[in-house]
Structure 1
Amino acid sequence: MRTAMQNLHERWGLSTSKIARALDISQRVARLARDGTTTAQGAEKLDGFLNRVHDHGIEEPAAWMAEPVVNGFTVTRWHLYAAGLHELLVRNAIGTITDADLLHRHDPDWRRTYWTSSTTFVASDGHLSIREKTYDEVRAQVGGR
């Protein structure tokens, strides 16, 4: 029978470092738990959480968790999982809470806290380039609540 740690690695494809961050444990403890030498508190809960999200239609839960919640902002669902917002994330997977509402419940000032200051564009030479983004561009991108 596979352990939750083995499931996190093999079924969900999570790296040892990602598991360690999600469970707030050292990478050494995560490696030992993966090898069966010790247990990692929270591994069963994380595995169960990913199963629930998958059961609600998210085909690749680990990838979904790693994507920015809203394009143009640096916060991912992993950040929100680490902050303890497990049930809100499940509701987000189901579709009963929007991405913006999810972030608002975590940090009402999320648009200022997590916006990224750069954006990509195709330059005159045809190659992608990076430039600084203004706050107004970010506000326009998400509807400026």
Structure 2
Amino acid sequence: MTKVTKSDQEWREQLSPMEYAVLREGGTERAFTGEYTDTETEGVYNCRACGAELFRSTTKFHSHCGWPSFYAPSEDDNVRLIEDRSHGMVRTEVRCASCDSHLGHVFEGEGYATPTDQRYCINSVSLTLQPQD
């Protein structure tokens, strides 16, 4: 995967304030407010910051958590997983492997009937959807 490196100023010029807060500062959009939370359009979800492919609609499922949920990335090396000990919790942060933007978190063992028993809980503002032709 091609690495994308930009200065903080370049990211600020490219992204809206909300996109910057989530993608570059690790923020979170409010639950049930994102444009892709309930979307069922078939296609590919790319990183909003750099355009790298991250997820496919075939792995998206309704988890009713308030954010788009996927049970696997399109390729394991398209995302980077990092231990996150913020806010008094231990979680696994999901980042774009290409530009290191914050996407959300991945959770395991929650009992969803998915092939991986994982829930990639991703901020809509971190994604763009490229609908299938």
Q: Provide the TM-score with structure 1 as the length reference.
A: 0.23
Whose helix proportion is higher, 1 or 2? 1
Q: Provide the TM-score with structure 2 as the length reference.
A: 0.25
